[in-house]
Structure 1
Amino acid sequence: MKKVNLYKYIGLSALCLALNGCADFVDNAPDDILTMEMVFNDKTRTEDWLQGVYNGIPDPYWGLTRDIGWEILAKDMTPSQGWAPWWGGTPLQWRIGQWFTNSSWNGSYWTLSQRIRSAFLFINNVHPLPSQGVTEAQVETMKDECRFLIAYFYWLMTETYGAVPFYDQALDPNAPLSETQVGQPTFEFMVDWCNEQFTQLSKTLPAKWENTYVGRATSIAALALRARMLLFAASPLVNGNTWYANYKNNDGQLRFNPTYDESKWKRAADAFKELIDAAEAAGHGLYYKYNSDGSLDPFMSCYGATMQKVNEGNVEVLWLRSGNCNYGEYEQHATPHGKNGNGGFGVTQDLVDAFYMANGKAPILGYNSDGSPIINPESGYREDGFSTEAEYRKTSWYLMSGFPDAELKSEGKWMITQPNTYLMYCNREPRFYLTVCWNGQWFKTHTSNTDFMYGHPDGGPGHDAPQNGYLNRKRISLDYEPRTGVHPYRPGILFRMAEAYLSYAEALNEYDPGNKAILENLNKIRYRAGIPEFGTGVDGNGFQRLPAPTSQSEMRELIHKERRLELCTEGIRYNDLRRWLQADKDLNGPDYGMNFYGTEYSCDPNNQNAFFKRTKYLDRVYVRRNYWMPIHQGQVDTDPTLVQAPFWDEE
């Protein structure tokens, strides 16, 4: 008989040892019923099992970046390509086209099947323990939590692979193949099943938990995941996409419905309206921080939206990961090499270019064939020189702490950019400064500027340097101290209110263009970001509003862009590009950045040693088969009822 301590703290890992093929869903069971009884007759071990199921939730920091890789594929974040040998290749290789059916994937969602079975076993075996304080009501809630996680994991797998084997119970590992090799249901079946589960759970789960249990499933989280799923299901990738008109599962059913259905957008919009109403009724909303004079501080508002603790007033968080999040590695790899970091985890030039100017206007309208930008003459954007004076704004954001005269206390202002800053980075919107770390920027813990030039402390030739001239700053704590390795806590947010408002605006625009709620929800995000709203008159920040879009397509473009800027680095954009059918357009071709080999603090286009010069550093490859993650070939070879994701057998 196995010892019980073999199972402790890991949700009974013996139950999560995968067999071949679809037997991932039919894991090894314990060798006798007494062992199960011992576990579920003990409150602590029961809770350990439940936490083991929760641990299947992706880590939204280093896990989402390094292992799963969504932000790397999305062209928002770009680790050093030289890290590929240490990262197992995966997302770093995928972005350049080295992506095959037998490729390994550190963050494989296929393994979530093990968590699903563990959740079913929990439901089947948990029971009240009156002498240990476990009541019938608590048992029912824990069962609902497992049902929530089952639906969530099934959706993550479906969203990623398009179709996966489906079981509504934990099967006997000794069952015949006819019961375990069941093929794959249609995409719409999985959406409908998950929709039903989330809808039911939104009526039985608590709206919120005490701080000790924050991160556990709630009715709000169920509504949020349901709405996000329905938005995906309404989008062009799976709503009217003729690519898959003849693509069938093993049972002969079409995997995806090729007929466009506008009502799916309404279903998504209704789901987000229900979510927003319920969330606001429960006290949720956007996070705001104000200056001493009562004016909005957009820097600290946007910073706090992702960094402020829930129990310290961050009402924006609708759901977060209850387990540990590896934000230590996330911060360490985004810290310059010469300042006690690994120094190669950055954001892309594409994202740098996307942020608005302080006046709310786009700096760049497009690109020429050589990669040079088409500058918006109305924006005030320049990249032909350096600033001659510092820029101050009203905020308590203290990134420039330690720099001479960085704070103007009498005016309630802090310096945002110092003199001699490349003009590309001047006069930009607050979210830009919360996201981008550039060459020559002040680094307060070391009271010196970053120096990314080749052969300089924070630059090449090593791989622990920004390959394109940028490091990431978003979701990096202002109080992080690289020399001591102190990483202040921040929530591992999986869904926040800003996404709900933007998603509601998007769905409304697709089925009811012109609805006034579209602009209202979009403007909520722009107001908090500290840039002019759209419309007429003066907005809440005192800005003259910009002209509102006059067509559905213009509004669509603005909503898509606002999603990118507001939710960047949070694991959202890759699936956005997929569902919009934009990935093969936006994720193909050259990536540009500053000159990695530049040795001079210059922007002279005729100087080959100038650092501030747009330079190609990477060629991305993305074809239509990449829209769906391939099922690993080993699984397909083992189970004849599995049909590979579209086009992986053809291209």
Structure 2
Amino acid sequence: MQNKIHILYLVLCLAMAGSVTSCKKFLDVTPENVGTLDYAFRNRNEAENYLFSCYSTLQSLADITRDPSFTTSGEIIYPNVLGEGPKLYDAGFQLMRGTQNISNPVLNYWDGSNGAPSVFKAIRRCNILLENIDKPIDLSVFEKDRWIAEVKFLKAYYHYFLVKMYGPIPIYRTNHAITDPIGTLRVKRLPVDSAFDYAVQLLDEAIPELPTEIADVNRELGRVTQAVALAVKAEILVTRASPLFNGNPDYRNYKNADGQALFSASADPAKWAAAAAACKAAIDACRQLNLGLYHFIRPANIPATLPQVLSGILTLQNAVTEKWDLNKEIIWNLNSYFPQQANAVPRITAEFDLGSAPGTLAVPISTTDLFYTKNGVPIDEDNSWDFSGRFNLRTGDAANKYLIAQNYQTIKNNFDRELRYYAGIGFDGGIWYGNGVTNPDAALSVQAQKGPAAPKDNSRLNVTSIWPKKLVHYLSVFDKNGFSQTSFRLPRIRLADLYLQYAEALNEVNGPSSEVYAYIDSVRLRAGLKGVQESWQQYSFNPGKPSTKDGLRTIIHRERRIELCFEGKAGWDLKRWKEWTSVMSQPMQGWSIYQSAPSDFYIPVTQFIPTITSKDYFFPLSDQALRENENLIQSPFWK
């Protein structure tokens, strides 16, 4: 066993960076292996390649089909083909059906298998660079300090990512020598606060040496800045302060074999104060860079007379899909382009073809229910909205022609909703502005009632007939010639996210205040809504809800789920709030997709009821990992 571990470790230590052919896309490249550490750090250029290899695992996280938060949030479901087990592509989505296991865990970021790289290997790679950074004789002091800071950031983020997935984890401050006794290699999990504290320590060390912004985007696009590190620090501290990690009674008996407690016994309110301070520091840094909430930038081919409602929708869509250099709301992006646009496109032309745009990313009805009415309150709280009759049929009219196709029969549920509903959801009869048609009066619309374009046993099928419109650039075109996409990078952190985190932390510290309302309302105003207090006072059955700490907490949580829907945030949020099992108790429903008559189509059909329990809050370790290291204990409630 000792020889096996030493050999595996040696192989890891010899992982080096190869040449990079494109400067602009250097972070998209996984460097090839070369022979020795001396070669990898023989000069500045080779060492820089190794730096890029430290980024490579981070860049791989851009594929949302491998993102544990995106695939288990309940925002999106994926077809389950009869007679087949989960395939690599959809395995993460199938976790909601109870497919996770300990013999071969899905999305195994611990060991690195089953559709995921090992994040621990990424940490070790970072340690190798830090141990060898003094070897290149032609590396300037300025660059060395910056590279050290970048790698410390990466180490911090990798540890944080693992804590979110697994809870208590081992901490790798340095790599073990291959000659170390076998006992020192058998590390154990440490209390969750240890990992959070270590990540924050690394970020505090890194931030002063990071650049305030990227000067040469052609060569350094995607590298870390001070604002990125400050925003990540804020997110880490918000996560640490949240109920899942901060005095969670569910894990009071979760301990190492030596009796060491891995979760704090009681909640510490000071953690929320630290989170609020970190959020404010990140916001201030962003303001110094003139970052702000995005508003639609009209290209020359879009009419200057674009109706205000469509301009508002494009503002909300492009807050996610706008080009990186034009979007002043983006704090952090990864380099890789969003790879799933074709799977988010509905039938919007007569030439629907599965090979060009399969459209398999299906939105359940429960996700559409999250979005507010046009009055800015939940659909079941609005005192002027017909909640009980929302599935009754209604025909599109002239007053709503830029939202719903005229003379098209859909349901009342699609009328009188907030703009984020129309920007985010591709629903039957909904206007799909763009797709090569820039005349607002000739805009295309979703044609879900025409029946599925695939047999029942075909995996390329949207099982709800509802699509995540937010994940398709409005200039992407799907027609008889195929699917031609305008690429975009899905934001990792944007300013609206940070604003809502700050509001959440402030509310947890002192309850409702004018500052809390201001940050929530700034996000709502961009979506065309009135402020929280005004909306609830005028339109809600519960007008006092925003005036209490508990009520405002509920509102903030929903605001995050609406504003950041489909962006890979909800899964982590629901877990840290300890709301995930409650949300996952709802059946995942869609429409009767094989029916074409409206009265038959609009009958909810249950695809499945998620099989999620308390043990699913943290991913399990594999049997193999436990066998190879007797000091590791299994994740809570897994056996």
If the length of structure 2 is used for normalisation, what is the TM-score?
0.84
The answer to whether the Cα contact below 8 Å between 1:240 and 1:260 also exists between their aligned partners in 2 is yes
Asked if the contact 1:468–1:593 (Cα under 8 Å) also holds between the matched residues in 2, the reply is: yes
Whether 1:517 and 2:515 are equivalent positions in the alignment is: yes
In the TM superposition, 1:472-483 aligns within 5 A as: 472-482=468-478, 483=481
Secondary structure of 2:97's counterpart equals coil
2:54/2:151 contact within 8 Å kept = yes
Provide the rounded CA distance (Å) in 2 between the counterparts of 1:584 and 1:332: 27
Measured against aligned partners, the alpha-carbon deviations of 1:592-626 in whole angstroms (never above 9, x if no partner) come to: 221133x23323xxxxxx01112212111111111
One-letter code aligned to 2:14: P
The one-letter amino acid of 1:170's match is: N
Distance 1:31 1:123 in 2: 15
Give the 3-state SS of the residue equivalent to 2:532 in structure 1: coil
Contact 1:592 1:614 survives alignment (8 Å): yes
* Aligned residue type for 2:415: C
Separation in structure 1 between the aligned mates of residue 10 and residue 161 of structure 2, nearest angstrom: 19
Aligned to 2:207: 202
The Cα shift of 1:501 comes to 0.6
On the 8 A contact 2:371/2:421 being kept in 1, the answer is yes
Q: Does 1:311 find its partner at 2:325?
A: yes
**Which residue is 2:283 aligned to?**
276
Range moving further from structure 2, 434-443 or 564-573: 434-443
Q: 1:519 to 1:51 in 2, by over 3 A?
A: same
Q: Percent identity?
A: 22
Aligned AA (2:574):
L
8 A contact 2:67–2:568 mirrored in 1: no
**Aligned counterparts of 1:510 and 1:470: Cα–Cα separation in 2:** 35
Q: Which amino acid aligns with 2:583?
A: D
1:425 is matched with which residue: 414, 434, 438? 414
Equivalent residues of 2:314, 2:423 under 8 A apart: no
Q: Deviations over 1:279-322 (max 9, x none)?
A: 1112222112378699794322212211112322x111111113
Q: Distance in 1 between matches of 2:488 and 2:329?
A: 13
Partner of 2:528: 530
Counterpart-to-counterpart distance in 1, 2:339 and 2:200: 35
Choose which of 17, 29, 33 in structure 1 pairs with 2:13: 29
Q: Separation in 1 of the partners of 2:548 and 2:305?
A: 38
Structure 1 residue matching 2:102: 3-state secondary structure: coil
1:87 aligned partner, one-letter code: L
Range 296-305 or range 208-217, more displaced:
296-305
- 1:122 to partner: Cα distance: 1.3
CA RMSD of aligned residues (A): 3.1
Amino acid at match of 1:28: L
Cα drift, residue 108 of structure 1: 2.2
| Residue aligning to 2:385 | 379
Q: Which residue of structure 2 lines up, in the alignment, with residue 457 of structure 1?
A: 453
Q: How many residues of Structure 1 are paired with residues of Structure 2 in the alignment?
A: 582
The alpha-carbon deviation at position 67 of structure 1 amounts to 1.9
Aligned counterpart for 1:148 among listed residues 141, 149, 153: 153
Equivalent residue, structure 2, for 1:321: 334
CA contact (8 A) 1:22 1:635 kept: no
1:53 equivalent in structure 2: 54
Instruction: Supply the AA of the counterpart residue of 2:397.
Output: E
The amino acid that maps onto 1:515 is S
Evaluate the alpha carbon distance shift between residue 30 and residue 205 of structure 1 in structure 2; reply closer, same or farther with a 3 A threshold. Answer: same
Instruction: Specify the alignment match of 1:618 in structure 2.
Output: 608
Change (3 A) 1:355 1:342: same
Tell me, in whole angstroms, the C-alpha distance in 1 between the residues paired with 2:331 and 2:398: 38
Offset from partner CA, 1:194-215 (integer Å, 9 cap, x none): 1111122222211211223232
Map Cα deviations across residues 42-96 of structure 1 (whole Å, 9 max, x no partner): 44432222122111115565x22x2234223111111222285433663233211
AA paired with 2:331?
L
CA distance in 2, matches of 1:283, 1:520: 19
Matched, 1:344 2:360: yes
- The CA distance in 2 between the partners of 1:284 and 1:436, in whole Å, is 27
Does structure 1 retain, via aligned residues, the 8 Å contact 2:452–2:593? no
On the 8 A contact 1:206/1:219 being kept in 2, the answer is: yes
Supply the AA of the counterpart residue of 1:281: Q
Change beyond 3 A, Cα 1:23–1:57: farther
The question of whether the paired residues in 1 share the 8 Å contact of 2:618 and 2:635 is answered with: yes
Q: What pairs with 1:227-626 in structure 2 (closer than 5 Å)?
A: 227-289=234-296, 297-312=311-326, 314-322=327-335, 324-325=336-337, 327-332=338-343, 334-336=345-347, 338=353, 340-364=356-380, 376-380=382-386, 382-392=390-400, 414=402, 416-422=404-410, 423-441=412-430, 445=435, 450-453=446-449, 456-457=452-453, 460=456, 462-482=458-478, 483-536=481-534, 549-597=546-594, 599-603=595-599, 610-626=600-616
Cα distance 1:583–1:20, how it changes in 2: closer, same or farther (>3 A)? farther
**1: CA distance between counterparts of 2:186 and 2:137?**
40
Separation of aligned partners in 1, 2:150 and 2:509: 33
* Cα distance in 2 between the residues matched to 1:415 and 1:453: 17
Aligned with residue 175 of structure 2, among 152, 161, 170: 170
Q: CA deviation at 1:120?
A: 1.2
**Secondary structure of the equivalent of 2:533?**
coil
User: What per-residue deviation string (whole Å, max 9, x for no partner) do you get for residues 602-651 of structure 1?
Assistant: 23xxxxxx0111221211111111111111121011100101111112xx
- In structure 1, the partner of 2:191 is 186
CA distance in 1, matches of 2:7, 2:270: 37
Q: Deviations over 1:112-135 (max 9, x none)?
A: 11111111111222348676xx42
Please give the alpha-carbon distance, in whole angstroms, between the structure 1 residues aligned to 2:547 and 2:403.
37
Deviation at residue 328 of structure 1 after TM alignment: 3.4
| Secondary structure, counterpart of 2:587 in structure 1 | strand
Residues of 1 paired with 2:41 and 2:596: CA distance? Answer: 66
Native 8 Å contact 2:163 2:195 kept in 1? yes
Structure 1 residues 274 and 81: alpha-carbon distance in aligned structure 2, compared to 1, 3 A threshold? same
8 Å contact 2:110–2:621 — kept in the other structure? no
Contact in 1 for aligned 2:104/2:622 (Cα 8 Å): yes
Q: SS of the residue aligned with 1:229?
A: helix
Task: List alignment gaps of at least 5 residues for structure 1.
Answer: 1-17, 366-375, 393-405, 407-413, 540-545, 604-609
Higher mean displacement: 266-275 or 195-204 = 195-204
Aligned to 1:403: none
Q: Distance in 1 between matches of 2:473 and 2:75?
A: 19
Letter in 1 for 2:188: G
Preserved CA contact (<8 Å) 2:342 2:359: no
> Which of 614, 623, 632 is equivalent to 1:642?
632
Q: Is the Cα contact below 8 Å between 1:345 and 1:472 reproduced in 2?
A: yes
Q: Are 2:512 and 2:552, in contact at CA under 8 Å, matched by a contact in 1? A: no
C-alpha distance in structure 2 between counterparts of 1:19 and 1:426, whole Å: 66
Once residues 208 and 229 of structure 2 are traced to their aligned partners in structure 1, the CA distance between those partners, rounded to angstroms, is 9
SS in 2 for 1:55: helix
- 1:449 Cα offset (Å): 5.1
Deviation at 1:273, TM superposition (A): 1.1
Contact kept, 8 Å, 1:155 with 1:194, in 2: the verdict is: yes
CA distance in 2, matches of 1:496, 1:20: 44
Aligned to 1:67: 66
Which letter maps to 1:471? W
Q: 1:289 to 1:179 in 2, by over 3 A?
A: same
Q: How does 1:113-132 map to 2 (within 5 A)?
A: 113-127=120-134
Q: Which of 141, 144, 147 matches 1:139?
A: 144
Q: Give, in whole Å, the separation in 2 of the partners of 1:26 and 1:628.
A: 30
Contact 1:343–1:465 (8 Å) recurs in 2: yes
Q: 1:454 to 1:481 in 2, by over 3 A?
A: closer
Do the aligned residues in 2 keep the contact of 1:27 with 1:114 (CA within 8 Å)?
A: no
- 1:415 Cα deviation (Å)? 5.3
Give 1:328's aligned amino acid. P
Given the superposition, is the C-alpha separation of residues 128 and 289 from structure 1 closer, same or farther in structure 2, using an over 3 Å criterion?
farther
Amino acid at match of 1:277: D
Q: Secondary structure at the match of 1:592?
A: strand
Q: Structure 1 residues 538, 622: closer, same or farther in 2, change over 3 A? A: closer
Report how far residue 170 of structure 1 moved.
2.2
